[in-house]
Homo-oligomer: A and B are copies of this chain.
Amino acid sequence: MSTSFAYHPGNGYEAWLQYRRADRGTNDERFTEYHHIVASVQDEVMRSAVDELSDGLKGITGRSVSITEDAVSTPCILLGIFGASKAIDQAIDADTARAVKAEGFAIQTDSLTRNIAVGAATSAGLLYGVFHLLRIMGAGGAADRLSLVENPVNPLRMINQWDNMDGSVERGYAGKSIFFENNRITGNLERIKDYARLLASCGINAIAINNVNVHRVESRLLTEFLPEVAKLAEIFRSYAIKLFLSINYASPMELGGLPTADPVASDVREWWRLAASNVYAAVPDFGGFLVKADSEHRPGPFTYGRDHADGANMLAEALKPYGGIVIWRCFVYNCKQDWRDRTTDRARAAYDHFRQLDGSFMDNVILQIKNGPIDFQVREPVSPLLGAMPRTNQMIEFQITQEYTGQQRHVCYLVPQWKEILDFDTHLQGMGTPVKRIVDGTVHGNPYSGFAAVSNIGDDTNWTGHPLAQANLYGYGRLAWNPELSSEEIAGEWITLTYGNREPLYGIIQDMLMSSWEIYESYTAPLGVGFMVNPDHHYGPNVEGYEYSPWGTYHYADCHGIGVDRTTATGTGYTSQYAGPNREMYESPATCPDELLLFFHHVPYTHPLHSGKTVIQHIYDTHFEGAERAERLLAAWERVKEHMDEEAFRQVADRLAEQAEHAKEWRDRINTYFFRKSGIADERGRTIY
């Protein structure tokens, strides 16, 4: 009994929270009776929950909303904490309440009174419950027989901002930072609050507000900027989001004037203890430190002959008394590799550096591991380090910002990629050990675990530059909450909350999103080869862009073939980092999945794929088809024009036009490169330059 409706997102600022807007002409008659909230506000998070619900109902019903501590009429919406609210304890039975964990919630509609009860064990749970209810209502769902319990699957659901204090955003494609400008924290707290709302609405509970590359000025977030950091923490706290800071490992030297940052030096340890104490004095519920150390020219324990455990534990010790944690990134590799050296393999680096340290990290350290062994390419195998350290907390790192996937100028809905990674069976404890069970902590029983991801937002009015990139931020939060949600479900939720659910709009956008990753992959880097991009900025095709660089990203294309031999038999031995069945699968070209063939093997252009095509013909075909499909995305979007406002339409249409054009550039450069290199003509005689 769902209704058909459209939202008009306009400039995109409201994103998927448009139910707040009262003037969008989609008031749903079925909800008009819900304009009465019963709640006794205990803290700022519950205050946010009540405010969101009140604003949301106003938007959805078009009526003013009353809030009382006790029920005065029915139907109403009851909010409360189990054991603290009699009304909730009466409305939701004890068995259901027991099923609700710390951040979870239950929602039940009383069939007689039609009252909707939202109960939780914490005010954070209540906030999530309110957002969930609003999501149901905002998506036109039925409210009359709700009966559900939700608990987040992952304890940590984190966002990493790569924002610099000069206002730039590393790998940011949606304007400047909303947090910083001119080496100060911005005064635009309203915008930051709206970001907190967006994040909380899809379940995010942690944020590191500054770039992992921490330079001199950002180091001072720990010291002179603390009062302003505290203001940001207050905003995020009211949306149940813990604030973290990325720190500079050399801070004891750069800020403290010490001659060393050696993690075993007592004055260094003391410096960090004092730093932690100061931070917690300003921000009592501070989350902890995010650390990029000994990576890409950042300082770290290696300088002093110490290992990563020494480095991380020193910080963990400083944070421990306050319940803080250290999130230590595993993105460590030799970024000054000699391209002539074929034995060093960047893909091996994280595993080689960290695996041996299993068991040496304190229990408030979490290793943050990128989803793949290289760097957020459109296609990589799963990092073999995930799950390979049973006695160490781990979390997975995704990249929402589309660094290598079109930079928010091309559409690339990344949830399907993330799903594939999460569902990958590591076989680490036999068949049925998928990444998602490692990441949520259940396989090894880790106290801390979860998701981190690099944000894709900036100060563009619509947050993400490309409006369809909002689906990635939304989808990331939803997937962190529940990795069992399907890509289609998440896309469906987002489309409905953003544009409404009318056909053909809904189906068209659903198809566009669901096909977008495959399309982007098809006209860019073939068969898992990766890094065929322009150096530095990483936008656009450049097959040899990284071939002779020090970054460890090569494809070794010659006139005979292409790919990296990472086998254990004849190559770099990277395959040996996987558990048995995966190792065997990747070791042989006969069993290696086509889409990762060139990641694991160097093969002739005439090598036949499982698809029956040769490698070279696959390259030609996918690139011709990909560019055609990119063009069809634009044509598809034209068909939704009449179902939304002009600005919302135009924002996407302009980018799709650029994508269609740029996909041709990809097609022609990649095909020309391989034709010139291999000398093998396209079977179908299409134009190659």
Contacts and interface: CB of A to CB of B under 8 A. Distances in A.
Interface in A331-370: 339-340, 342
A342 B543 CA distance: 20
A676 interface: yes
Interface in A673-689: 673, 675-679, 689
A677 B544 contact: no
A676 B557 contact: yes
Contacts of A556: 676
A637 to B, nearest CB: 26
Contact of A668 (B340, B543, B559): B340
Nearest to A556: B676
A543 B309 CA distance: 43
Interface string A558-595: 11100000000000000000000000000000000000
Nearest to A340: B689
Question: Does more than half of chain A's interface fall in helix, strand or loop, or is it mixed?
Answer: loop
Given A548-B541, A548-B669, A669-B548, A559 B678 contact: yes
B339 A677 contact: no
Contact of A558 (B340, B668, B669, B676): B676
Given A541-B548, A557-B676, A558-B676, 8 more contacts: A339-B689, A340-B668, A548-B669, A558-B675, A558-B677, A558-B679, A559-B676, A677-B677
B689 A560 contact: no
B559 A677 contact: yes
A673 B340 CA distance: 12
Closest 8 interchain pairs by CB?
A558-B676, A559-B679, A559-B559, A340-B689, A544-B544, A548-B669, A559-B677, A340-B668
A541 to B, nearest CB: 7
Interface string A534-546: 0000000111100
Contacts of A676: 556-559, 677
Contacts of A668: 340
Nearest to A543: B544
Name which of A544, A556, A669, A673 has the most chain B CB atoms within 10 A of its CB. Answer: A544
Contacts of A342: 689
A114 to B, nearest CB: 65
A338 to B, nearest CB: 9
A672 B548 CA distance: 10
A678 B669 CA distance: 19
Contacts of A673: 544
25 contacts: A340-B668, A340-B672, A340-B689, A342-B689, A541-B548, A542-B544, A543-B544, A544-B544, A544-B673, A548-B669, A548-B672, A556-B676, A557-B676, A558-B675, A558-B676, A558-B677, A558-B679, A559-B559, A559-B676, A559-B677, A559-B678, A559-B679, A560-B679, A676-B677, A677-B677
A687 to B, nearest CB: 9
Nearest to A339: B689
Contacts of A689: 339-340, 342
Contacts of A543: 544
A627 B677 CA distance: 27
A158 to B, nearest CB: 37
A260 to B, nearest CB: 30
A535 to B, nearest CB: 9
Nearest to A680: B559
Contacts of A559: 559, 676-679
A494 B543 CA distance: 46
Nearest to A557: B676
Nearest to A689: B340
A210 to B, nearest CB: 29
A302 to B, nearest CB: 25
